[in-house]
Amino acid sequence: MAARPPRPLKTQKTKPVVRFRMRITAGETVAIGPGKIRLLEAIEETGSLTAAAKSIDMSYRRAWVLVNELNGSLKRPAVESAKGGEHGGGSQVTAVGRQLIEHYRTIEATAEVSCKAEIQALTRLLVEPAV
């Protein structure tokens, strides 16, 4: 255990990718985070919780729990399910849900732009990608 960790080769196979993720937690629960936003976007695209879950490789059960948590964290729901038909006749992202997606994606983009110089400084400490 006393040995210094072995040094890997000092090249990377791929260019470093920077990802910002924002989470808003309330107590133990993540009220809003990347998983819920991605699911919302998928529901908006597909109009169905089943199809949305499938498209992002998430179980229907998990998607249902996330939508339930999300709606419970909001004053007004982000997703509404129609009654009747296959799995309740589809699910719709509400105006509130669309606001949520837009704010979230704007925040991520703004964070990246405003931190550009610092991110570059940090990235310069990293091993250069092997081209």
Element (H, E) at 68: helix 60-73
- Tell the smallest beta-carbon distance from residue 100 to a second copy (Å): 6
CA distance linking residue 115 with residue 43, whole number of Å: 31
Q: What token pair was written down for 95?
A: 């105006």
User: Under the rule (CB under 8 A), what is the footprint of a second copy?
Assistant: 1-8, 10, 12-27, 31-32, 60, 64, 67-68, 71-76, 80-81, 83-85, 87-89, 96, 99-100, 103-104, 106-107, 110-111, 113-115, 118-119, 121-123, 125-129
Question: Are the beta carbons of 31 and 70 closer than 8 angstroms?
Answer: yes
Contacts of 25 (CB under 8 A, 6+ apart): 31
- Tell the smallest beta-carbon distance from residue 51 to a second copy (Å): 14
- Tell the smallest beta-carbon distance from residue 56 to a second copy (Å): 18
